[in-house]
Each structure stands twice: as C-alpha cells, then as structure tokens.
C-alpha cells in the first residue's frame, strides 16, 4: 500500500487524487468484469470499484471478498453522483487483512436474532450512530460538571444498604454474607463526601432488578449523579435544566449526521435549548390531567407512565414536576415547611412520550424525621448509622439528582426502546451475549 491511511471521511473531504483507506466491507456485488465494494470505517462509507482489467491475475481473490472482510484499498477518488455518499474510489491496489465467513446479519432480521448477535450488530450504521451520540453525551456530562466546579467522586458498587426500594435489589454472593447488594444509586455514599468536596458528580453503572418489561427500564444502566452542598431545592432543579440543555447542545453541535442517519427529527430538540423548562407541582399536574384529559387521579398516588406521557404531550420542552406526596418518595427527601404532606422532590419528564429522565431532591436535614421515615418503610435505622452521621456533624442544606444516561440517549436519538441506547442491554430476560 502506497501512502499513509486516511479515514473515509477525510478521503471524501479531499475529494480527488490518490488516497489509501481501510475498513470493512459493508456491501459487495459484482460481475465477472467489475466488483463494487462499499467500504465502511468508523467515519463513513464509500463505494469502491475494482476493474478486472487491473486485477486479472488476482480476480478469484477479488471475487471471493465477502461482507465484513477487512481490507486496505488504494486508488483514485472522484466525485460520482450515483454513489451512495457522492464519491467513488477507483481501486489500484488492494489487500485483504482479515477474511470474513458468511456474515450472519443481512437484511430484515428479527429483533431477537439481532439481540442474539448483538456483538455483530454493533457494526451496523444505526448502532454506530447511537454509539457516537452516546460518547458525546458522556463527554457532555463530564464537561458540564467540571465546568461548574464539581469534583468527580466514586462510590462503592457493593453496598450493604438499600436506597430506592428493596424489591429492586440484586443481592450478591459476597463470601456468604447475606446483606450485600449491587448499587442502585451512589447517594448514601455521596452525601458523606460533600463535607469534603461540596460539589461532586459521577457517571457509574446502577443496578435494579426491574421485573416489569417496559421500554425504559434496564437492569444495568449508567447513572449520572450529582450532590451539592449549600444548595436549595430550586438550585438543584436549575442544575438539572442546565445539564440537559448542555447535553442537547453538544449532540446537536457534534452529531447531526448521526441523528439524521437514525431518522431523528432533531428540530424537535431545539425548544429544549431555547426555552425554559416547564415547572409545576404534582398537585398542579393532577389538575392539568383532569382538565385536559379527564384523568381523575387520587391525590397521593404516584404518576404512572401513561399519566406522565399525557402530561408531557402538552409541551415541547421537559417538564419538572415537584413537591410529590411524601409517601410515594424516598425517605431522605426534605419535608416541605408549609405542607408536610409533600416533599422537595423533582422528576424531569422528557417530551415526546419519554417520561422520567432525572429524579432529584433536596435532602432532609432532621435526623429524627429521617429515622421515623426509615421505620415507616420497614427499615432498621441502625443499618444506616454511617449515613445518619451526615446529619450529626455539621449538616448543611444539600441535595442532588440522578440522570439515567440511556433514558437521555433514547430521547435525544428518538429511539423506541432503551435497549437500543446501550451496546449490550441487560434486562430480566436478556443477559447474553
């Protein structure tokens, strides 16, 4: 191979002259005179033509090139309106790097088949596009928090406490101990650290034994969480709003081609960037559901998916729903001073039927209230001593939230199912490959 390799994207930008590229055969077809190969790399695809006149002695090798063969190709690139990406490579030299057996994935395979062959399906243009957007989202979260002066901080994955409800815990075989679980959230181990660092965040896997089949629950998902000292409830909501705007902005700046490949109408994301989010209390939400949709929900019941979907259908930006009834929310949320029946918890509901993408709250500072709430939930406060110490030694107002990274990717990419927002989805039924 003659010169240095460049990416397909760079070759197309160059648009003329000699280039050397390498990648995998995305499509191939041929006659006994010409072979057409669509080569793909991580950046794009390009049509390449091999003319038998130039490869007569090696034609049987050319003829045997199959889908997903890895190759190096050199030749002359030129504009060609008929080619899929507008350019064509007239190949002068080729080298097969890795042969490919009959690739099992071609057109119209079932969802199940693609899930069984996820390790191969990752190479598809759809998955590649999602993975690029996913990478942007992770970088945007890091960038946002670092830019706001937060420290990255890490909590344990093996935990001996539960935070978000026992029914969703995965217990672990931990040297015959009975009370070790995989983390559902970092929170109980994050709050102690604000006394050292004040503003902290993480992006880490969380594990929840979700038994229901929905399009927005995984058993293993990536959780971006933050905790901040001295903050009031409104400031926590503001952080969430700014974070989501930053993520959407970064994806629109970097990934329009990928959004288009996913057939995502990205213009629907613009209001999220340009307009303030809608803020309403749970009680106001019930009234809207009644007035607009004749949905009669008893005060005190949590909002279900169907109700969240109806609510967000009225807006083109996320809705921040606040002040939920105490009994539907976790034990650590601050009781409202004016109405002790509600707590300073907030859920961010994404538009286009996506539902909750962030759950957050201000944290209760009153030790006795926390203990009472733990007991009400059937917990033994003695198990939480290390956590309760956060309220004993110089407690300060604070709060935080957790963002489900795959939920955000599902919304931003316009995916039907959260399983397509992660390379190897884990659900109750699916843990292989």
Q: Which residues bind ligand ATP (CB under 6 A)?
A: 164, 208, 210, 217-218, 221, 223, 356-359, 402-404, 406-407
Residues in the chain: 433
Q: Kindly state the smallest distance separating residue 347's Cβ from ligand ATP, in Å.
A: 7
The vertex-351 CA angle with 350 and 355, nearest 5°, equals 45
Nearer to ligand ATP, 64 or 214 (CB): 214
Q: Kindly state the smallest distance separating residue 184's Cβ from ligand ATP, in Å.
A: 7
Cβ(155)–Cβ(186) under 8 Å?
yes
Q: Kindly state the smallest distance separating residue 164's Cβ from ligand ATP, in Å.
A: 4
How much of the chain is in helix, strand and coil states, percent to nearest 5? 35, 25, 35
Q: Kindly state the smallest distance separating residue 402's Cβ from ligand ATP, in Å.
A: 3
Beta-bridge partner residues of 21: 73
Q: Kindly state the smallest distance separating residue 130's Cβ from ligand ATP, in Å.
A: 15
Nearer to ligand ATP, 21 or 415 (CB): 415
Nearer to ligand ATP, 26 or 221 (CB): 221
Question: Which class for 352: exposed (0-12), middle (13-18), buried (19 or more C-beta within 10 A)?
Answer: middle
Q: Kindly state the smallest distance separating residue 330's Cβ from ligand ATP, in Å.
A: 8
Q: Kindly state the smallest distance separating residue 139's Cβ from ligand ATP, in Å.
A: 19
Nearer to ligand ATP, 318 or 359 (CB): 359
DSSP string, 141-183: HHHHHHHTTPEE----SEES--SS-GGGPPB--BTTBSS-EE-
Nearer to ligand ATP, 219 or 390 (CB): 219
Nearer to ligand ATP, 41 or 220 (CB): 220
Tokens representing 275 are: 């307009």
Q: Kindly state the smallest distance separating residue 162's Cβ from ligand ATP, in Å.
A: 12
Nearer to ligand ATP, 55 or 332 (CB): 332
128 contacts: CB under 8 Å, gap ≥ 6: 42, 122
Closest to 299 in 3D by CA, of 284, 319, 320: 284
Helices within 46-154 (DSSP H only): 59-63, 111-116, 118-121, 125-147
Tokens representing 130 are: 């999602």
Question: Is the bond leading into 433 cis (omega within 30 degrees of zero)?
Answer: yes
Nearer to ligand ATP, 26 or 401 (CB): 401
Q: Kindly state the smallest distance separating residue 74's Cβ from ligand ATP, in Å.
A: 46
Contacts of residues 260-263 at CB distance under 8 Å and 24 or more positions apart, as own/partner, are: 261/125, 261/126, 261/129, 262/126, 262/129, 262/130, 262/413, 262/414, 262/415, 263/414
Nearer to ligand ATP, 258 or 406 (CB): 406
Tokens representing 336 are: 């409202």
Count other Cβ atoms within 10 Å, centred on residue 162. 19
């Amino acid at each position: 191979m003659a010169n240095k390799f460049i990416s397909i994207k760079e070759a197309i930008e160059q648009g003329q002259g000699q280039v050397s590229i390498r990648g995998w055969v995305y499509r191939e077809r041929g006659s006994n005179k010409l072979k057409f190969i669509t080569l793909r790399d991580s950046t794009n695809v390009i049509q390449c033509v091999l003319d038998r006149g130039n490869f007569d002695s090696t034609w049987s090798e050319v003829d045997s090139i199959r889908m997903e063969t890895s190759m190096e190709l050199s030749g002359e690139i030129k504009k060609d309106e008929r080619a899929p990406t507008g350019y064509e490579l007239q190949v002068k030299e080729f080298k097969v790097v890795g042969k490919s057996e009959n690739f099992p994935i071609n057109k119209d395979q079932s969802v199940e088949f693609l899930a069984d062959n996820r390790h191969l399906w990752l190479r598809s243009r759809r998955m590649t596009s999602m993975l690029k957007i996913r990478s942007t989202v992770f970088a945007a979260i890091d960038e946002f928090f670092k830019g706001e002066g937060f420290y990255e901080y890490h909590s344990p994955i093996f935990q001996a406490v539960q935070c978000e409800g026992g029914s969703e815990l995965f217990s672990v075989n931990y040297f015959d101990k009975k009370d070790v679980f995989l983390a559902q959230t970092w929170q109980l181990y994050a709050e102690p650290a604000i006394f050292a660092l004040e503003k902290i965040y993480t992006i880490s896997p969380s594990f929840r034994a979700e038994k229901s089949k929905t399009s927005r629950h995984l058993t293993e998902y990536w959780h971006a969480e933050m905790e901040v000292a001295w903050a009031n409830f409104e400031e926590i909501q503001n952080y969430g709003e700014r974070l989501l705007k930053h993520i959407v902005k970064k994806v629109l700046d970097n990934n329009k081609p990928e959004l288009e490949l996913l057939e995502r109408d990205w213009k629907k994301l613009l209001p999220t960037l340009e307009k303030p989010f809608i803020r309403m209390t749970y009680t106001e939400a019930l009234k809207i559901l009644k007035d607009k949709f004749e949905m009669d929900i008893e005060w005190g019941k949590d909002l279900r998916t169907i109700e969240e979907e109806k609510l967000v259908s009225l807006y083109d930006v996320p809705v921040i729903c606040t002040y939920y009834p105490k009994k539907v929310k976790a034990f650590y949320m601050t009781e409202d001073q004016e109405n002790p029946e509600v707590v300073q918890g907030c859920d961010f509901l994404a538009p286009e039927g996506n539902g909750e993408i962030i759950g957050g709250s201000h944290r209760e500072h009153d030790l006795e209230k926390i203990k009472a709430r733990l007991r009400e939930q059937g917990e033994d406060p003695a198990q939480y001593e290390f956590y309760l110490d956060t309220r004993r030694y110089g407690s300060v107002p604070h709060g935080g939230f957790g963002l489900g990274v795959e939920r955000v990717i599902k919304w931003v990419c316009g995916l039907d199912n959260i399983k397509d927002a992660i390379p190897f989805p884990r659900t109750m039924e699916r843990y292989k490959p």
